[in-house]
Structures are given as C-alpha cells and as structure tokens.
C-alpha cells in the first residue's frame, strides 16, 4: 500500500499514530522515546517512524501545517493503512487567561472558521469532537505521570495571519487555545469511524506576546509526548 504522499507499506504503520506537525519533531520523538525506530516514509519530507514503546508498536508521523495537510495524511492513515487512533501532538497559542506558556491542553472539541466540513455534503456543520476513549485515557495518563493538563475547546483556524475575529472574542466563549489542525483530524476520524485526540502544548500567548523559540518548540515539549505515548500504550 502506498499513496502519492506516503510510500510506507501497510504493515509498516502501527494501529496508533502520533502526529506532530513538524517532521523534525517526529524525528526527535522517534530517536528519544522509541526503541528500534525505523524510517518508513519520507515522501515530501513528511517523516514517519515506526518503533516500540514499552514493547508496543507505535508510529510517529508528521502532518505538516494546516487543515489541508492534516486532512490528507489523517484520511490516508485511517482509510488506507487501517490506523485506528491518531493522537495529534502539536503547539497552540493560549486564548484562555487560565492557560499559560508550556501548559498542556487536551482538546475535547474544536471550533473552526474552515469550510473543510463542507466536503461531507451535510446541511449544517458537524461538531468536531475528540474520541472520549482517547480523551479519558490521556487524562488518566497525565494524572499518573503527575502532569497537570487543561481539558478544553480549541479554535482551529485556516489562517495564521488574520485581521478578523480577535482572539479576545474567542476568550469570551471559553476557548482554551488556537491551532490549525484539530478540526480536520476530528472530522476525518468521525467520517471514517476511527478515534482521534489533539494534545497541544502552549507555545505562545498572542494576547500577552510571550512565546517559545523555534528550537524549544521542536525539542522541549516532552510532557505532551509522554502523555500521548502512554495513551497509545494503554489504548486497545
């Protein structure tokens, strides 16, 4: 099995896939956390590695940036590679006053300004929601690890630079953070009958101007990775 975007063999991809946006973060995770990790895809530089975590086979594969890219890779994994669970591990900007730099957010749902869901031909936009199974497991794993997390709604936007919809207005709606991939992932999971969860580390606070460096984003957000890996180990 291969696609225009993934030349891995079907048996090279595990049933649970962790998906950072950055290919170099995928490489970092594979080298630091997985045993016997091997590169199984490098088409378009979108690295995928499969290895073992506590003896269980896990794949970590980059999704790229934005809903179109996440939409392609998650759909192919769910539909053509028989992947059952995708856990996005990425970065987000803080919106809620209660969320601080480096905090971890489990995305229970995703509101979006994207027209991605129009492709399903429904009469209204469906709710983009996480799998309760993965959400519950991730919350339990975080507690076991002693890592505090926020469980909240994410804003998934099509545009990184945007003059409309001030983030302060989304704060009024109780949104925890803003990122660019969760809605497409949740929609694809729902459409294919699979499970998905978005775990984000807060990398910047747009309303205060605080931010992590690019190197810190790539290499130091280990708490969400540990939660995701323990969730992957625990899931059926």
Which residue, among 89, 131, 38, has the nearest Cα to 224 in the 3D structure? 89
Q: What SS3 class is residue 111? A: strand
**C-beta atoms surrounding 221 within 10 Å:** 24
Contact 108/29 with Cβ under 8 angstroms?
no
Which residue, among 189, 227, 168, 182, has the nearest Cα to 78 in the 3D structure? 189
* E strand segments, 100-143: 104-112, 128-129
Q: How far apart are CA 19 and CA 70, in angstroms?
A: 9
Q: Is 139 annotated in the active site?
A: no
Which residue, among 202, 210, 194, has the nearest Cα to 85 in the 3D structure? 194
Contact 154/198 with Cβ under 8 angstroms?
yes
Selecting among 12, 22, 103, 204, the annotated active-site residue is 204
Which amino acids are annotated catalytic?
204
């Amino acid at each position: 099995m291969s696609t225009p975007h993934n030349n891995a063999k079907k048996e090279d991809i595990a049933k649970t896939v962790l998906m950072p946006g950055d290919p170099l973060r995928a490489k970092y995770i594979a080298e630091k956390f997985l045993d016997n990790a091997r590169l199984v895809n490098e088409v378009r530089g979108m690295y995928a590695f499969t290895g073992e975590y506590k003896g269980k086979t896990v794949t970590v594969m980059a999704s790229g940036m934005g809903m179109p890219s996440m939409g392609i890779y998650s759909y192919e994994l769910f539909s053509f590679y028989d992947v059952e669970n995708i856990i996005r591990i990425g970065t987000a900007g803080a919106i809620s006053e209660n969320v601080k730099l480096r905090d971890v957010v489990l995305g229970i749902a995703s509101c979006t300004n994207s027209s991605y869901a129009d492709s399903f031909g429904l009469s209204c936009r469906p709710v983009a929601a996480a799998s309760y199974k993965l959400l519950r497991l991730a919350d339990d794993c975080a507690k076991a690890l002693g890592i505090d997390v926020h469980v909240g709604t994410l804003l998934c936007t099509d545009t990184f630079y945007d003059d409309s919809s001030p983030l302060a207005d989304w704060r009024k709606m109780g949104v925890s953070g803003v990122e660019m991939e969760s809605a497409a992932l949740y929609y694809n999971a729902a459409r294919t009958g699979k499970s998905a969860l978005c775990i984000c580390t807060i990398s910047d606070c747009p309303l205060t101007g605080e931010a992590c460096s690019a190197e810190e984003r790539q290499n130091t957000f280990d708490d969400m990775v540990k939660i995701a890996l323990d969730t992957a180990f625990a899931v059926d």
